[in-house]
Amino acid sequence: MRYKNKQIILVCFLFSKYGIIKIITFIFNNSKYIPIKHKIYSILVIILIILIVGIAITKLTVRDKVSVSKDFKKNVQQAININCDNPFECLALRLGQSRIISATPSSAEVESFTLFRIPLGFLRGVSNMKTSVFFNLSGDWSANNNIDPIVE
C-alpha cells in the first residue's frame, strides 16, 4: 500500500502548479537567458515525462477482473494484437494494457486501455468498446469488437 501512495504523490506533483507548469513558465519567462537549444530539450523532456507517467498509470492500475492461466492470457493477447487494424490503435495498445473482464474455456471478453487509462475504443469514437475472443477446439481464435449502445 505504501508503494502505491508514493506513485500517487508523484503523479500529483508532476501535474500540480509546482511541477510541470512551473517548469514551463520558467522556460518561457526567462527566454532571453535560456538558449533555444535548451528550450527545445526542456520541452522534449517534459513531453517525455508526461508520456512515461501516462504509461505507468496504465501499466500499474489495469488488472484482470478474472483469474486465467498464462497460456489463455497469452492467446487472448495475441488475438487482441492481431485484431487491431489501425496503426494508431496498435501503437496505443502497445503503450497501454488490456484486461480480461470475463472468461469461459472457449471465450473471453477484453477491455483495452491506452495512456492514462483512456479506453482504446476512444480512437474509434466509442468509449465503451470491448473485444470478444472466441476459441474453438483446434486452438484457433476469432475476435470481434462489441460496442454497447449508449442508453439515453
Q: How many other C-beta atoms lie within 10 A of the C-beta of residue 138?
A: 5
Long-range contacts of residues 82-85, Cβ cutoff 8 Å, at least 24 apart: 82/143, 83/131, 83/143, 83/144, 83/145, 84/120
Same domain, residue pair 80 and 42: no
Determine, yes or no, domain membership for 17. yes
Identity of the amino acid at 52: I
The range of the structural domain enclosing residue 11 comes to 2-61
Same domain, residue pair 37 and 80: no
Determine, yes or no, domain membership for 152. no
Tens of pLDDT, residue by residue over 103-134, are 998 889 999 998 888 888 887 777 778 888 88
- Which residues are registered as beta bridge partners of 97? 113
Determine, yes or no, domain membership for 50. yes
Tens of pLDDT, residue by residue over 70-86, are 988 988 888 888 888 78
Whole-structure pTM value: 0.69
Same domain, residue pair 99 and 55: no
